[in-house]
C-alpha cells in the first residue's frame, strides 16, 4: 500500500464530554462494534468486576472516572480507527487540551437529561479554536430527558455549533422505540433486551407499513418531526462539516449499544483523514515522504510490574519505522526504537511501521517532554501544545523517610506526564506541587504509593500564580532575585519561577521591575 493509501485509510479522533455523559461507555461500544473487544465493561457497576477497557489505571477503576487519556486502535470497514478517550473531569482538562492537538476530528457526547454542561462548553471551545470537525452524539435515550429540539437549540446557542440532525429519536425513556436514521433513510428499532435490533429501510415515512412497527401516534409524531427537521435545519454538506461549519447530530444509548453503529458507519464515511500540522517553521503535510511527529502525552507505569514509561507520539508525516534512527529535535540527538507499540488501552503490541494519524508508544528513559518533535533530520517545533500555570499548590512532605529515593523518582516521573508541575524553593529546598485541579493531588498520592511504594502528605499553600522569569536587564533582575529570594523556586527543568502570593503582589512586582518578564506558561 502506498503512503497516500495508508493516509486515506486512517481516522483519528477524540471523544470529549462533561463527566458522566457516557463517554467511556461510548468508547467501549465503538470498540465492540470494531471487534477490538468481546465484552464491554460496565464503568460504574461495582457488581461487575470488569471495568471499562479504556480506564486501565487502578484509581480510575475505583472512582469510575477517566483520569488519563487512553489510546485505542481497531480496523472497521477497511479503515484504521484510532480513538483517544479523554478525561472528562475538569481537574484533568490540561491532559484533554493536549490530546486534542493529536486528533483530526472529535465526537462530543451530551447527556439527554442534562444537556450541554460547562465542561462540554470549554472543550468544544478548544476544538473550535483548532477548527476541529465535530460530530455530536446525544446519549442515554433509554432515560427520560430533554426534548430533541430543545437539545438542538442548546447545541446551537450554548456551544455555538450548527446542528444537522442525521438521526432522530422515536420517543425516549419508557416510550423509546428507536431512531430514524436520516442519513441512510432507515428505521432502527430499539430492543431493550440486548438482542440484535431490527433495521428496516424506510425511504418514505408516509409508507403505511410504518404504523405496524412503531404504532400510529409514534408514526405520526415521527413524520411531523422529520418534516420540521428538513425545513429548519440545513441538509448535510460534507465540505461544511470538514471545515468545522456544520455539525452532524446523532441520538442513541451507548449503554444499550443503540445508535452507536449508525454513528460509526457515518463517521468512517465523512470524518477527515489525517490533516496537515502547523509548526513554527512551516506547515507539514501528511503525504510528505519524511517522518515527523510530536509527543503529546507521557505516561509512567503503563504496566506497574515493569516500571515502563511511554511517550505517545502522533505521526504527522511520512512512515515511522522500527529500529530506524530519528532526530530528537530538542536534544539534537539521534534515537532509535526497538519496540515501538500500538495500543488497545493497556494492551500493547510491537509495531513495525506507523503512518500519519497513528499514535505510537515509545519506551522512554526520560528523554522526552510533552511537545517534543521527532523527525528524519529537519528541525521543527510543533505549535499549539498548551502548558498552563498551576492554580492550586501544596507543599509535599515525605511520609516515609526510608523511601526518599522512591519518592524523588516517583515525583520526577509523574511530573513528566504533564498533569502537575513541581517546584523546589531556592530558600530551604521545600518541594511544592502545582496543579490545575484538586483531584490531581489525590491521584499523585495514590500513584506514588501503589506504583513507587512511596508515601507523601500535603500541606496547603496559598499562592496566586507561578510565573516563569526572563530578563532584559541583568542589574534589575539581580536586584529582584535578591529581594524576593523567599518567593523563588526552580521548576523540574531548572528554570527560575516566581511564586506570587497574591494578584496584588504580582502586579506590584511587574510595575517595580518592568525589565523582568513574568510568564504564565513555561513555553514562552
For the chain, domains (ranges, CATH) are 14-66+102-270 (3.40.50.300), 277-375 (3.40.50.300), 392-519 (3.30.70.3280)
Three-class SS state of 475: helix
pLDDT, residue 53, reads 47
Q: Report whether 170 contacts 222 (CB < 8 A).
A: yes
Beta-strand pair 496-500/465-471? antiparallel
Tell me which residue of 122, 57, 130, 112 sits closest to 89, measured CA to CA.
122
| pLDDT reported for residue 305 | 55
Q: What pLDDT score was predicted for residue 299?
A: 77
Q: Are strands 516-519 and 465-471 parallel, antiparallel or unpaired?
A: antiparallel
Task: Decide: 412 and 483 in contact? Cβ < 8 Å.
Answer: no
Q: Which residues pair with 321 in a beta bridge?
A: 353
357: left (phi over 0), alpha (psi -120 to 50) or beta: left
pLDDT along the chain (524 residues), means of 10: 93 87 82 62 36 48 46 86 69 66 93 89 82 94 92 94 94 87 86 64 80 88 92 94 95 88 92 93 95 87 59 94 95 93 69 93 84 93 72 92 91 78 91 84 87 91 92 93 94 90 94 92 64
The span from the CA of 237 to the CA of 41, in Å, is 36
- Identify the CA nearest to 25 among candidates 196, 142, 184: 142
pLDDT for residue 347: 60
Q: Give dist(CA 215, CA 209) in Å, integer.
A: 10
pLDDT at 56: 43
Handedness of CA 97, 101, 103, 106 (dihedral sign): positive
- CA 116, CA 123: separation in Å to the nearest integer? 11
d(Cα 194, Cα 426) in Å, to the nearest integer? 61
- Per-residue pLDDT, 48: 32
DSSP labels for 152-185? HHHHHHTS---EEESEEEES-GGG--EEEETTTT
Find residue 79's DSSP bridge partners. 76
Neighbouring-strand partners of residue 13? 83, 105
Total count of residues recorded for the chain: 524
Cα–Cα nearest to 107, from 250, 238, 229, 236: 250
What burial letters (b/e) apply to 285-296, b meaning 16+ CB within 10 Å?
ebbbeebbbbbb
pLDDT, residue 438, reads: 79
Amino acid at each position: 500500500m502506498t503512503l497516500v493509501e495508508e493516509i486515506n485509510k486512517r481516522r483519528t479522533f477524540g471523544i470529549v464530554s462533561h463527566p458522566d455523559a457516557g463517554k467511556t461507555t461510548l468508547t467501549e461500544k465503538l470498540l465492540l462494534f470494531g471487534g477490538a473487544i468481546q465484552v464491554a465493561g460496565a464503568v460504574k457497576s461495582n457488581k461487575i468486576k470488569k471495568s471499562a477497557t479504556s480506564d486501565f489505571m487502578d484509581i480510575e477503576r475505583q472512582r469510575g472516572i477517566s483520569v488519563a487519556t487512553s489510546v485505542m486502535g481497531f480496523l472497521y470497514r477497511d479503515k484504521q480507527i484510532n480513538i483517544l478517550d479523554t478525561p472528562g473531569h475538569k481537574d484533568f482538562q490540561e491532559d484533554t487540551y493536549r490530546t486534542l492537538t493529536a486528533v483530526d476530528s472529535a465526537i462530543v457526547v451530551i447527556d439527554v437529561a442534562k444537556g450541554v454542561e460547562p465542561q462540554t462548553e470549554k472543550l468544544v471551545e478548544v476544538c473550535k479554536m483548532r477548527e476541529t470537525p465535530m460530530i455530536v452524539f446525544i446519549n442515554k435515550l433509554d432515560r427520560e430527558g430533554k426534548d430533541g429540539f430543545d437539545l438542538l437549540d442548546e447545541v446551537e446557542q450554548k456551544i455555538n455549533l450548527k446542528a444537522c440532525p442525521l438521526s432522530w429519536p422515536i420517543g425516549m425513556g419508557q416510550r423509546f422505540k428507536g431512531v430514524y436514521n436520516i442519513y441512510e433513510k432507515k428505521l432502527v428499532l430499539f430492543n431493550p433486551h440486548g438482542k440484535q435490533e431490527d433495521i428496516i429501510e424506510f425511504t418514505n415515512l408516509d409508507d403505511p407499513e410504518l404504523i405496524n412497527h412503531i404504532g400510529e401516534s409514534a408514526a405520526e409524531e415521527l413524520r411531523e418531526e422529520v418534516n420540521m427537521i428538513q425545513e429548519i435545519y440545513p441538509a448535510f454538506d460534507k465540505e461544511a462539516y470538514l471545515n468545522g461549519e456544520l455539525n452532524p447530530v446523532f441520538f442513541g444509548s451507548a449503554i444499550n449499544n443503540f445508535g452507536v453503529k449508525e454513528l460509526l458507519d457515518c463517521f468512517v464515511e465523512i470524518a477527515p483523514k489525517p490533516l496537515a500540522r502547523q509548526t513554527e517553521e512551516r506547515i507539514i503535510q501528511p503525504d510528505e515522504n519524511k517522518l515527523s511527529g510530536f509527543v503529546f502525552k507521557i505516561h509512567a507505569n503503563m504496566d506497574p510490574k515493569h516500571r515502563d514509561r511511554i511517550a505517545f507520539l502522533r505521526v504527522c508525516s511520512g512512515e515511522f519505522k522500527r529500529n530506524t534512527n530519528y532526530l530528537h529535535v530538542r536534544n539534537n540527538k539521534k534515537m532509535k526504537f526497538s519496540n515501538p507499540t500500538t495500543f488497545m488501552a493497556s494492551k500493547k503490541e510491537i509495531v513495525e511501521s506507523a503512518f500519519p494519524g497513528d499514535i505510537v508508544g515509545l519506551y522512554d528513559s526520560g528523554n522526552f517532554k510533552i511537545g517534543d518533535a521527532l523527525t528524519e533530520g529537519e528541525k521543527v517545533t510543533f505549535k499549539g501544545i498548551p502548558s498552563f500555570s498551576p492554580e492550586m499548590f501544596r507543599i509535599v512532605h515525605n511520609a516515609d523517610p526510608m523511601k526518599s529515593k522512591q519518592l524523588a523518582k516517583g515525583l520526577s516521573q509523574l511530573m513528566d506526564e504533564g498533569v502537575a508541575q513541581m517546584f523546589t524553593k531556592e530558600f530551604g529546598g521545600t518541594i511544592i506541587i502545582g496543579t490545575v485541579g484538586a483531584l490531581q493531588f489525590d491521584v499523585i498520592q495514590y500513584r506514588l504509593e501503589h506504583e513507587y511504594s512511596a508515601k507523601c502528605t500535603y500541606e496547603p499553600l496559598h499562592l496566586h500564580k507561578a510565573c516563569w522569569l526572563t530578563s532584559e536587564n541583568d542589574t534589575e533582575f539581580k536586584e529582584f532575585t535578591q529581594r524576593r529570594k523567599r518567593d523563588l523556586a526552580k521548576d523540574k527543568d531548572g528554570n527560575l519561577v516566581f511564586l506570587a502570593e497574591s494578584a496584588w503582589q504580582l502586579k506590584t512586582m511587574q510595575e517595580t521591575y518592568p525589565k523582568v518578564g513574568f510568564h504564565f506558561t513555561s513555553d514562552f
